[in-house]
Amino acid sequence: MNTLDWSSTNIDENDLDLIYNRLLEEETPMTPLQLAETLIENRIKSYKKNGNEESQKDDQYYRPSKTYAPGDKIEFPLQNSAHGVVESVREGVNPAFGKFSVIKVVFPDGTAKEYASGLESHKLNQYDYNNPDQNLLDPKYVVRKFGRRIAKKIAAVLSENDDLVRIGNFWFPHALLTDVNPGYLNLAEAVLEMAEGQPMHTEEILEQLEYPMDSNQELTVFSFNYAMQNDDRFGEVGPANVVLWTLKEMQPEDVRKTPLTLKFNEELRSYDTDEAVKSISFADIQDELEEDQLIEPAESADSVRLTLSYPHWKAGTVPLIGSLQSIFPTANETDSVVFTFRDKKTSETFIGWVILSKNYVCGLKPWYRANGLIPGSIFTINRTDDPGIIELELIPPRSSKDWILSFNLDEKNHFSFKTNQHKVTTLFDERMAIYVENSPQLDTFWEANNRKEANITRQIELVFRELSKDNPQGIIHFNEIYSAMNMLRRIPPHLLYAILLHEGSIQQIDEMYFKLIDKDEEENA
């Protein structure tokens, strides 16, 4: 009898038939995880049935319920499959167990041991010797430990079946859907317009429409969802297993298109980033343009400290790096997921959006400005008991004022850096903190520095010179260069590091320190 290996479960035609029949019988849309429960229960039931049939062949396995006679051979799987021969049988004496026998078994090495025989109540009577871990026969345990993995495989198989449709993370046979009159979709549009962009559950929309509900309410809701999904006016924005609707045209601009300062010129990738550069760790810099930072860690975090870069400060966003992916809600189909931010100190709440394909979360601009955050500020993003609510927490600074590098623009869009004393509201990274006043001029400055003709080498030289004004030796830490360069254009750390190494005008002093070589120094070298 084969063992149950849940870690490598594959979905075959029989499983697909089982799933399809379950959907038809229940007439209720289901998630892959719910369908995984059905599959798991069926396989365990089938396994036990086959096991009972095969157990008749396993006469040599020791079972306390069996009766034995002298000369019988017995195998003991839990004793390294030791084999023994029954030497004698006597009557057992224990009122608690009723009538039973005791057999004496002799093993090849000459040792002898006694075992119960004819004992009806004993855990070894039902013990599955082929599956020593009895948890693997417990549906609840298997669902808890392997359910999500099996659900992913089920979802992949279902997506290839044209007879099934999906809304959010719910699946149902297309043939059983009810038709929706287009007039109701027009009314749904009006309802969402009145909601002024606030996401609504399908049930809320149907209630306002006074939509005729079938006896199977879940099927009615699913059918309406399917009709809305196939209408370009509507956007489904709910997290996994939750369906929420908005009008696409009423979604915030940062949801519909990538914010200006998060756009990256892919042509810069032409700079060679060799293995030596790739091996360098920039632990203090969180950047969604770094592929290795998008990998979700093995253990999910309940809280993540984030250091805010200028592009995300200006856009009112945070990077959806791997450590944050388990905290923010996700979705199976939609690209934009709506949720609620909550300020830990004030309990104030406001809407946030996860943009999965672009790896950023938006909606934070008012919170940044209201709390006086600057590029380089450090704050905490916390998980809560409600997966739809994400908590924001400021970290008290050492003092209310500190010396911080300031970014300034003149009338001609020329920039400069100067260290001044400024008010601070949260902890900050001293190498990455830059005080900047938000103004429309920042947008024109950014656009000018991101034109195709803008020379990145020239930009790096200008940044070096400005950062060196308060540093007589002109030696700058890489994190300062990264933070300052991202005031001009979007560039990830490994790529910036590779450019610094390629440029002859840049001298590497140490792994993380660089210096701009003046022309006089080059001539004297």
Q: Do 42 and 142 have their domain in common?
A: yes
Q: Do 41 and 187 have their domain in common?
A: no
Domain-embedded: residue 306: no
What is the pLDDT, as a whole number, of residue 206? 96
Domain-embedded: residue 87: yes
Which element (helix H / strand E) includes 140? helix 139-158
Domain-embedded: residue 362: no
CATH number of the structural domain spanning residue 194: 1.10.10.10
Assign 63 to helix, strand or coil. coil
- Give the domain-ending residue among 236, 251, 266: 251
Domain-embedded: residue 276: no
- Give the domain-ending residue among 233, 251, 269: 251
Domain-embedded: residue 15: yes
Q: Do 139 and 230 have their domain in common?
A: no
Q: Do 46 and 98 have their domain in common?
A: no
Nearest to 467 by CA among 477, 456, 454: 477
Q: Do 108 and 206 have their domain in common?
A: no
For the entire predicted model, the pTM comes to 0.73
What is the pLDDT, as a whole number, of residue 128? 65
Task: Please tell me the total count of domains within the chain.
Answer: 3
- Give the domain-ending residue among 251, 270, 292: 251
What is the pLDDT, as a whole number, of residue 425? 94
Domain-embedded: residue 429: no
Q: Do 101 and 198 have their domain in common?
A: no
CA distance 434 to 416: 12
What is the pLDDT, as a whole number, of residue 169? 80
CA distance 233 to 71: 81
Q: Per the structure block, which two tokens stand in for 480?
A: 């300062």
Contact yes or no for 346/398 (Cβ under 8 A): no
Q: Do 155 and 13 have their domain in common?
A: yes
Domain-embedded: residue 213: yes
Q: Do 32 and 148 have their domain in common?
A: yes
Instruction: Determine the length of the chain.
Output: 525
Q: Do 218 and 243 have their domain in common?
A: yes
Nearest 5°: CA angle at 11, between 8 and 12? 125
Rg for the chain, CA atoms, rounded:
33
Q: Do 85 and 184 have their domain in common?
A: no
What is the pLDDT, as a whole number, of residue 72? 92
What is the pLDDT, as a whole number, of residue 237? 93
CA distance 318 to 310: 11
Q: Per the structure block, which two tokens stand in for 56?
A: 């008749």
Assign 52 to helix, strand or coil. helix
Q: Do 100 and 149 have their domain in common?
A: no
Domain-embedded: residue 44: yes
Q: Which domain, by its residues, includes 119?
A: 73-125
Q: CA distances (Å), 346 to each of 390, 391, 443, in order?
A: 14, 11, 31
HSE-CB at 461 with a 13 A cutoff on CA atoms is 11
Q: Per the structure block, which two tokens stand in for 364?
A: 């934070």
Assign 476 to helix, strand or coil. strand
Q: Do 33 and 155 have their domain in common?
A: yes
What is the pLDDT, as a whole number, of residue 93? 86
Reading the chain (525 residues) residue by residue, the pLDDT tens digits are 455 678 778 888 888 899 999 998 888 899 899 999 999 999 888 877 776 544 444 557 888 889 999 999 998 877 766 889 999 999 988 887 888 899 999 999 899 999 999 988 887 877 766 555 567 778 888 888 888 889 989 989 998 888 899 887 889 999 889 899 999 999 999 999 999 989 999 999 999 999 988 778 888 999 999 999 999 999 999 987 788 999 999 999 999 999 999 999 888 887 767 777 888 889 889 999 999 999 988 788 899 999 999 999 999 999 999 999 999 998 867 889 999 999 999 999 999 999 999 999 999 999 999 999 999 999 999 999 998 999 999 999 989 999 999 999 998 989 999 999 999 999 999 999 999 999 999 999 999 999 988 999 999 999 999 998 877 788 999 999 999 999 999 999 999 999 999 888 889 999 999 998 876 554 444
